[in-house]
């Protein structure tokens, strides 16, 4: 079984994906981390984020063992990821890795922006998770503070809106609901409620 979960930044899709994978005994891939790893490597090497040729090279030689680097989680790396992820050659370079991950037994849960539309259009279950931008900004603020990082909620909201705008309006693989994806509004659900709603969708579909 392949489960595709897409949605905007901080919608709660990552936690849902992780919990669904544990529940069904599937592997889990947070695909945002791949774009974050490309952005992080480019920032570290001082490469212009819009240099498509060099970004594609970085994407092609990416080492998945770096995906658990905590530095990838920072807000700045997330914003940089949304810039490099708009480059068609970067996306192209990363398709095969994601499809191989998805199709290896026993199946997988992938979360991102284009899983149901581009990476796994034949996934058995597709869920599109949304939440009010102000609620997403508030959750991200609390998360940052719990890690001991200073966080300005208004700035985080502005950044989330800018990121939504870039992700939804890019020419290649924009963030959008696949026609056969179930819409899950996570604005007023806590973690358990969101996971329960996602499991209900999987049970109804499979």
Residues of the binding site for ATP: 7-15
Binding of residue 3 to ligand C5P (CB under 6 A): no
The contact mask relative to ligand C5P for 55-84 (x = CB under 6 A, - = no) is -----------------------x--xx--
The contact mask relative to ligand C5P for 131-160 (x = CB under 6 A, - = no) is ------------------------------
How many other C-beta atoms lie within 10 A of the C-beta of residue 16? 26
Beta bridge partners of 183: 128
Outline where DSSP puts E strands in the chain: 2-6, 27-30, 108-112, 125-130, 182-185
> Residue 169 burial (CB < 10 Å; 0-12/13-18/19+)?
exposed
Binding residues: 7-15
- Assess contact for 17 and 28: CB atoms under 8 A: yes
Closer by beta carbon to ligand C5P, 84 or else 202: 84
- Which of these segments, 17-25, 31-39, 54-62, 187-195, binds ligand C5P (CB under 6 A)? 31-39
Closer by beta carbon to ligand C5P, 85 or else 141: 85
Closest approach of Cβ 116 to ligand C5P, in Å?
10
Q: Tell me the CA distances in angstroms from 64 to 21, 29, 101, 103, 186, one per residue in order.
A: 19, 11, 11, 17, 30
Closer by beta carbon to ligand C5P, 118 or else 195: 118
> Residue 175 burial (CB < 10 Å; 0-12/13-18/19+)?
buried
Closer by beta carbon to ligand C5P, 48 or else 203: 48
- Assess contact for 39 and 49: CB atoms under 8 A: yes
Binding of residue 36 to ligand C5P (CB under 6 A): yes
Binding of residue 113 to ligand C5P (CB under 6 A): yes
Closer by beta carbon to ligand C5P, 187 or else 200: 187
Q: Which residues of the shown chain bind ligand C5P in the complex (CB under 6 A)?
A: 9, 31-32, 35-36, 78, 81-82, 85, 112-114, 163, 167
């Amino acid at each position: 079984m392949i489960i595709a979960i897409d949605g905007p930044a901080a919608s709660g899709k990552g936690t849902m994906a992780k919990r669904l994978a544990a529940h069904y005994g599937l592997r889990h891939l947070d695909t945002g981390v791949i774009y974050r790893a490309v952005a992080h490597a480019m920032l570290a090497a001082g490469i212009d984020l819009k240099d498509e040729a060099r970004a594609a090279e970085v994407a092609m030689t990416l080492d998945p063992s770096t995906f658990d680097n905590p530095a990838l989680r920072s807000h700045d790396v997330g914003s940089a990821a949304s810039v490099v992820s708009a480059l068609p050659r970067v996306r192209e370079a990363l398709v095969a890795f994601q499809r191989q991950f998805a199709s290896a037994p026993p199946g997988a849960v992938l979360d991102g922006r284009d899983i149901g539309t581009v990476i796994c259009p034949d996934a058995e279950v597709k869920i599109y998770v949304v939440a009010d931008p102000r609620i997403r900004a508030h959750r991200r603020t609390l998360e940052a503070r719990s890690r001991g990082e200073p966080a300005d909620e208004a700035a985080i909201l502005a950044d989330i809106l800018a990121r939504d705008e870039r992700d939804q309006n890019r020419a290649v693989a924009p963030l959008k609901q696949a026609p056969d994806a179930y819409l899950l509004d996570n604005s007023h659900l806590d973690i358990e409620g969101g996971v329960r709603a996602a499991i209900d969708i999987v049970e109804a579909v499979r």
